[in-house]
């Protein structure tokens, strides 16, 4: 039992996309992502504050407007928060408490929290980091607290001792390495100075919310003051975080923080390999939806965005972002297209000889993802299988109309040094879509085998039951000659849809099949057409097969197709009770039922369709000519 599995080392994402890093050439710049001075006296504006806004009011002190608690006397705690995604950089704010701090009267200023509800006192399992302004006992200090599911852990303490009625400007810094430090100064006008040592704590690396949780007794319901809240992030400028594919005409572009909705209609979104979007609109949160007037072909794409700003006026990083547009493969998207199961040995010209290989072809005009795809044979009653995993590969997608080459090689080396590349003289541009298995063979038996192509969920994408009888019967020796599929759009297990490659080296791995032949058009109305006609089935790769294309007026017909020579003698029973559908194609390779070549001349194709349920029968006759190529 053989089982060939192709699984990319990275875990598969639930969305249909792959995003590669933004191609930024310069160092990351610090960006203001929160700037609130309360001069607008509007908590519902920008930024929008939620929680208990009715517990707060605004007061003027000289030229400044401060936020002040103004809670009803029956309350003992209040909270106010706003969305803030940043987790690294600096947080700065002014606060004043006109009372002696204690466990019952103090503030928690959450720098980053994982949820809206900051009230751990009433059971919120909030996690993140907060500044705590006092406690029971003396001396009272400013402390940096880590919350783990509502439980406090002190990680830093200021040298400054808190005094009642004094105002302080606080600054907290966090480097990209997770190193924290407190900066404190008394007064509103001065700049904070370092007031603690440093500590590394990188437990929580994603932001969510910034906010206040205030606890107080009845005497202090109006004695908390805040002003000049500012957060500067070092997470870089506004940038594309990822791109996901909704369908072939719709993309969602996700940013590292919310863009300003007012700038979205005026921004320019330009794709390198696709037309510019015809629709650009906000999609909520940090996302923008792009709509296209025609389906995208897919593949690696680069997007450049200009004129877009975040909520604080910071512009988008104009460096192109590279991403993949690809759809998940579904049945019949990918087909097994070529199999070399009996490789030739070394020759004077090719000292290493051939290796086995299997080629997969993407029938669609758009790119598909191939993570999780695997090859296996038919399971036995015990469902046992031998697994063969490929060596590490960066191949995660296949372009529209492209080919994926699966080959064995014991030695870890670049593709151009493999047996298959050396023997067939394959170009370097095949390497990105070639997957190496760390073994000497793929264990493909000479007697034939079932090969199943499945996705990561076990859904069958294609299946081929190859047999040595599918080779051209006129060949005495088929060693070193691959089985090639004639038409990727026809049945995978129709023997007439497979034959021996006519390529001079025995196969066309990673390239268009030598035998590829597809009908140009279906009949315009009910009936049959033959093409190419004449045809020359002599194994030279030129018009080797005759397509019998049909169109019917009902879908439930069963088809019988017989071919007679000019004397009325039956030479081939091509189809018997074949389910037809409304339209389709059958292939005649020019041979008799015994696999022998027919003579040059005129032949009659008799096409009969029967529908036993309705009693309707249709019969069509056309003349085909076998000719030899000059």
Q: Using an 8 Å Cβ cutoff, are 398 and 334 in contact?
A: yes
Nearest to 259 by CA among 280, 278, 282, 275: 282
Q: Do residue 393 and residue 441 come from a single domain?
A: yes
> Where a domain ends, among 292, 325, 358?
325
Query: What percentage of the chain exceeds 70 in pLDDT?
Result: 91
Q: Which two tokens stand for residue 382?
A: 């015990």
Q: Do residue 566 and residue 468 come from a single domain?
A: no
Structure pTM? 0.59
Q: Report the sign of the C-alpha dihedral through residues 301, 302, 307, 308, in that order.
A: positive
CATH of the domain at 74: 2.60.120.200
The answer, yes or no, to whether residue 606 has pLDDT greater than 70, is: yes
Nearest to 336 by CA among 366, 372, 362, 367: 362
Query: What percentage of the chain exceeds 90 in pLDDT?
Result: 59
Q: Do residue 426 and residue 547 come from a single domain?
A: no
Split at pLDDT 50, 70, 90, the class of 564 is very high
Q: Using an 8 Å Cβ cutoff, are 491 and 586 in contact?
A: no
What are 183-224's pLDDT values in tens digits? 999 999 899 999 999 999 999 988 899 999 999 999 999 999
What are 313-337's pLDDT values in tens digits? 788 988 898 888 888 888 989 999 9
What are 145-184's pLDDT values in tens digits? 999 999 999 999 999 999 999 999 999 999 988 999 999 9
> Where a domain ends, among 204, 233, 262?
233
Write down the pLDDT at residue 64. 95
What are 585-602's pLDDT values in tens digits? 899 999 999 889 999 999
Write down the pLDDT at residue 348. 63
Split at pLDDT 50, 70, 90, the class of 372 is confident
SS3 label, residue 548: strand
CATH of the domain at 494: 2.60.40.1260
Average pLDDT for 334-363? 88
Q: Do residue 266 and residue 362 come from a single domain?
A: no
CATH of the domain at 305: 2.60.40.1220
Task: Residue 264: count other Cβ atoms within 10 Å of its Cβ.
Answer: 18
The answer, yes or no, to whether residue 8 has pLDDT greater than 50, is: no
> Where a domain ends, among 325, 353, 372?
325
* Position with higher pLDDT, 81 vs 613: 81
Task: Answer left, alpha or beta for residue 278, where phi above 0 means left and psi between -120 and 50 means alpha.
Answer: alpha
What are 480-532's pLDDT values in tens digits? 999 999 999 989 999 889 989 988 889 999 999 988 887 777 788 899 999 99
Q: Do residue 338 and residue 486 come from a single domain?
A: yes
Q: How far apart are CA 97 and CA 339, in angstroms?
A: 79
Q: Do residue 406 and residue 423 come from a single domain?
A: yes
Q: Do residue 493 and residue 394 come from a single domain?
A: yes
What are 450-475's pLDDT values in tens digits? 998 888 788 899 999 999 999 988 78
Provide the domain limits for residue 547. Answer: 520-630
Q: Do residue 370 and residue 309 come from a single domain?
A: no
The answer, yes or no, to whether residue 1 has pLDDT greater than 90, is: no
Q: Do residue 315 and residue 358 come from a single domain?
A: no
Average pLDDT for 284-298? 90
Write down the pLDDT at residue 350. 63
Write down the pLDDT at residue 192. 96
Write down the pLDDT at residue 438. 87
Least confident span in 13-17, 130-134, 250-254, 451-455: 13-17
Q: Do residue 321 and residue 333 come from a single domain?
A: no
Nearest to 373 by CA among 361, 381, 383, 384: 361
**Is cis: bond before 532, omega within 30 of 0?**
yes
DSSP string, 338-399: EEE-S-----SS-TT----EEEEEE-SSS-EE-TT-EEE----TT---EEEPBPP----EE-
Write down the pLDDT at residue 4. 40
The answer, yes or no, to whether residue 392 has pLDDT greater than 80, is: no
The answer, yes or no, to whether residue 380 has pLDDT greater than 60, is: no
CA atoms within 13 A on the CB side of 221: 11
Split at pLDDT 50, 70, 90, the class of 390 is low
Per the listing, tokens 């390529």 go with 503
Q: Do residue 191 and residue 296 come from a single domain?
A: no
CATH of the domain at 607: 2.60.40.4070
The answer, yes or no, to whether residue 435 has pLDDT greater than 70, is: yes
- Number of domain units in the chain: 4
The answer, yes or no, to whether residue 95 has pLDDT greater than 90, is: yes
Q: Using an 8 Å Cβ cutoff, are 191 and 169 in contact?
A: yes
Write down the pLDDT at residue 387. 55
The answer, yes or no, to whether residue 2 has pLDDT greater than 50, is: no
Q: Do residue 62 and residue 119 come from a single domain?
A: yes
Most confidently modeled range among 88-102, 366-380, 555-569, 601-615: 88-102
Q: How far apart are CA 6 and CA 373, in angstroms?
A: 5
């Amino acid at each position: 039992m053989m089982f060939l599995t192709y699984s990319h080392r990275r875990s598969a994402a639930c969305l249909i996309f792959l995003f590669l890093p933004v191609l930024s050439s310069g160092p990351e710049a610090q960006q203001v992502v929160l700037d609130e001075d309360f001069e607008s006296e509007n908590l519902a504006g920008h930024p929008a504050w939620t929680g208990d806004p009715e517990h707060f009011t605004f007061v003027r002190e000289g030229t400044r407007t401060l936020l002040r608690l103004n809670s009803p006397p029956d309350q003992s705690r209040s909270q106010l928060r706003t969305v803030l995604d940043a987790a690294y950089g600096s947080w700065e704010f002014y606060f004043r408490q006109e009372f002696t701090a204690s466990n019952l009267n103090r503030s928690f200023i959450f720098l980053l929290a994982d949820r809206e509800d900051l009230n751990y006192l009433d059971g919120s399992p909030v996690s993140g980091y907060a500044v705590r302004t006092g406690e029971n006992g003396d001396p009272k200090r400013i402390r940096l607290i880590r919350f783990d599911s509502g439980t406090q852990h002190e990680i830093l303490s200021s040298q400054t001792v808190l005094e009642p009625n004094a105002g302080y400007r606080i600054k907290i810094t966090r480097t990209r390495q997770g190193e924290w430090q407190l900066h404190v100064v008394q007064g509103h006008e001065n700049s904070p100075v370092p007031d603690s040592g440093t500590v590394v704590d990188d437990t929580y690396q994603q932001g969510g919310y910034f906010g206040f949780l205030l606890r107080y007794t009845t005497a202090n319901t109006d004695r908390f003051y805040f002003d000049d809240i500012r957060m500067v992030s070092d997470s870089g400028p506004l940038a594309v975080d990822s791109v996901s594919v909704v369908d072939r005409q719709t993309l969602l572009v996700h940013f590292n923080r919310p863009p300003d909705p007012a700038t979205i209609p005026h921004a320019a979104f330009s794709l390198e390999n696709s037309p510019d979007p015809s629709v650009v609109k906000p999609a909520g949160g940090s996302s923008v939806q792009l709509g296209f007037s025609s389906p995208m072909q897919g593949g690696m794409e680069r997007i450049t965005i200009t004129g877009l700003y975040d909520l604080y006026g910071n512009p988008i990083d104009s460096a192109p972002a590279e991403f993949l547009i690809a759809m998940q493969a579904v049945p019949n998207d990918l087909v097994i297209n070529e199999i070399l199961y009996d490789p030739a040995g070394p020759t004077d010209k090719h000292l290493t000889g051939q290796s086995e290989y299997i080629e997969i072809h993407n029938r669609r005009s758009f790119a598909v993802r191939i993570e999780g795809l695997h090859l296996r044979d038919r399971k036995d009653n015990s469902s046992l299988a031998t697994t063969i995993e490929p060596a590490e590969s960066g191949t995660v997608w296949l372009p529209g109309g492209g080919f994926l080459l699966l080959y064995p090689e014991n030695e870890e080396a670049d593709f151009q040094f493999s047996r298959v590349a050396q023997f067939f003289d394959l170009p370097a541009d095949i390497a990105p879509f070639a997957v190496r298995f760390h073994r000497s063979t793929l264990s493909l038996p000479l007697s034939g085998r079932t090969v199943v192509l499945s996705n990561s969920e076990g859904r069958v994408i294609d299946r081929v039951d190859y047999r040595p009888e599918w080779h051209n019967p006129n060949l005495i020796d088929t060693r070193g000659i691959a089985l090639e599929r004639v038409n990727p759009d026809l049945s995978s297990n129709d023997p007439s849809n497979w034959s021996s490659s006519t390529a001079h080296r025995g196969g066309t791995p990673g390239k268009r099949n030598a035998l590829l032949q597809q009908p140009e058009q279906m009949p315009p109305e009910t009936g049959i057409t033959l093409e190419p006609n004449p045809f020359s089935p002599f194994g030279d790769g030129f018009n080797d097969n005759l397509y019998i294309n049909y169109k019917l007026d009902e879908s439930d017909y069963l088809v019988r197709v017989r071919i007679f020579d000019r004397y009325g003698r039956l030479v081939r029973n091509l189809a018997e009770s074949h389910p037809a559908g409304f339209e389709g194609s059958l292939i005649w390779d020019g041979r008799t039922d015994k696999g022998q070549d027919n003579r040059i001349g005129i032949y009659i194709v008799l096409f009969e369709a029967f529908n036993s349920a309705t009693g309707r029968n249709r019969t069509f006759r056309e003349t085909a000519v076998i000719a030899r190529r000059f």
